[in-house]
Structure 1
Amino acid sequence: MGVLAGKTALVTGGSRGIGRGIAERLGREGARVAVHYGSNETAAKETVAAIEEAGGEAFALGQELGVPGDAAALWESFDAAVGGEGGLDILVNNAGIAASKPFATLDEEEYDRVFAVNTRAPFFLAQLGAGRLRDGGRIINISTGLTKTALMPDLIAYSMSKAALDVFTRDLSKVLGPRRITVNAVAPGIIDTDINADWLRGDEQAWAGAAAMSALGGVGTPAEIADVVAFLASEDARWVTGHWIDATGGSLS
């Protein structure tokens, strides 16, 4: 029996990368995990299968984020999936996108899209999910170390959207605190995921440069972020809320 046995979790963007690492970790701790995906159903089903093979329970939920009505539609699918056993204990707002263009060429459409996925969707998922979230529950927002440094200024819109998520985390902790619901943010640094594969894995210099940023001398893995999330989801973190946790491996030191 894991420390999250009997709990139900929803992980947005849970089919790949950091999200998959989180979903699998919560599953190993005994939580029933709703694995959300935006478009890659195959990857979501693979994540569900991995959780089940490890002895856990999971199901996939598909819903594009960043579009009108996204949060309501996702919760409707969640309610249908859990049926009479409704209710939620852990919400992990992990899904996010980065702008592909720097400041000088970023257009309004892409800017709005970044904020719609990274900031607006978590806001309304939490707002509409609060009634489903049981007292003593957890909301964990995945931020970035880039909200504290100008190390990658070409990702300015992405960093701005996550900075807004940090403020949301802080203020929401006060709103939901009376119900003993904790709200925290976890900020990864450079993580070895398929999203970073093109520039990171195929270039020895890029890998060495990324590793050199960390005080620990390495590139982070999804499992290392998932372990932090699992702690925040557990009873051991019941007195931690409104906090921004640096999980960059000391890259901000």
Structure 2
Amino acid sequence: MPTAETSRVAIVTGGAGGLGLPIAARLADRGHRVAIWDLDGARAETAAAGIEGARGYAVDVTDPVAIDAACARVVDEMGPLGILVTSAGHNGPVAPFAEYPTDGWDFVMKLNLDAVFHCCQAAVREMLKTGYGRIVNIASIAGKEGNPNAVAYSASKAGVIGLTKSVGRELATTGVLVNCVAPAAIETEMLTQVTPEFRAYVTSKIPLGRLGRAEEVASLVAWLASEECSFSTGAVFDASGGRATY
């Protein structure tokens, strides 16, 4: 019989909405103490109020100084860091490549990739102190296949996959395991950022014929963030309804 899982401190970026909120709730259900990070501090506190043992923090994950300060605060207030889930992100503009705005590219890369690097780095520094950690980065099937008219999103998520593989292999013998999840389109508020035509396109690519549900991704993330995940690192786990081909 499996033993009860040790209660850990978990940080979930973008945890006040989208995929982050159900992920935070699922981790709390497993007995973890969750720090919800969001750019909007009031939103983070409201989300945390609905999850037992959770706390909300206002954190700009595009600011490395703010990340380091928030990470130190979480450890001071909640205990040693055991889990990080990087869920904060944005689709960015949907536009033809030849017309894709430079500011849109810069914004998406800063939030979807640079922030993941900085959050992972801050978390790893803490996890190496205890010799235990689980990091789960939220990538996307777009990072494998590349969605047309979404060059920044696709490139940023490909970067998250590469970052995960690199860091996972580097830390393989340290007790800190690093994996990522590559969902296809999931029914969350992020889909309100895209056109109906783009939504229809991404749905049509899914063999199961429907969008994914946030709780389905949360379930996979919770396992990757657990002690049961003990022989996977630097890996990509699909949640694509059959869309992924590799």
1:131-170 to structure 2, matched below 5 A, reads 131-133=125-127, 134-150=130-146, 152-170=147-165
Letter matched to residue 141 of structure 1: N
Q: Is 2:222 the counterpart of 1:227?
A: no
Deviation at 1:20, TM superposition (A): 0.6
- 1:8 matched residue in structure 2: 9
- 1:98 matched residue in structure 2: 91
Partner Cα separation in structure 2 for residue 185 and residue 5 of structure 1: 22
* Corresponding residue SS for 2:149: helix
- 1:114 matched residue in structure 2: 108
Counterpart contact for 2:94–2:194, Cα < 8 Å: no
- 1:30 matched residue in structure 2: 31
- Measured against aligned partners, the alpha-carbon deviations of 1:81-111 in whole angstroms (never above 9, x if no partner) come to 4426532101111111222142222232221
- 1:50 matched residue in structure 2: 50
- Measured against aligned partners, the alpha-carbon deviations of 1:161-193 in whole angstroms (never above 9, x if no partner) come to 111111110010122112121110101111111
Letter matched to residue 16 of structure 2: S
Instruction: Give 4+ residue runs of structure 1 displaced > 6 Å after superposition.
Output: 205-209
Partner Cα separation in structure 1 for residue 198 and residue 141 of structure 2: 18
Q: Is 2:90 the counterpart of 1:89?
A: no
* Corresponding residue SS for 1:45: helix
Partner Cα separation in structure 1 for residue 94 and residue 136 of structure 2: 28
Work out which of the residue numbers 238, 243, 246 in structure 1 matches 2:235: 243
Counterpart contact for 1:145–1:188, Cα < 8 Å: yes
Q: Is 2:56 the counterpart of 1:60?
A: yes
Partner Cα separation in structure 1 for residue 120 and residue 109 of structure 2: 16
Partner Cα separation in structure 1 for residue 202 and residue 42 of structure 2: 30
TM-score (norm 2): 0.88
Partner Cα separation in structure 1 for residue 30 and residue 140 of structure 2: 25
Partner Cα separation in structure 2 for residue 22 and residue 187 of structure 1: 15
Unaligned stretches of 5+ residues in structure 2: none
Give the direction of change, closer, same or farther, for the CA distance of 1:15–1:4 in structure 2 (3 Å limit): farther
Partner Cα separation in structure 2 for residue 3 and residue 144 of structure 1: 31
* Corresponding residue SS for 1:148: helix
Letter matched to residue 100 of structure 1: P
Give the direction of change, closer, same or farther, for the CA distance of 1:166–1:210 in structure 2 (3 Å limit): closer
Counterpart contact for 2:124–2:176, Cα < 8 Å: no
Letter matched to residue 142 of structure 2: L
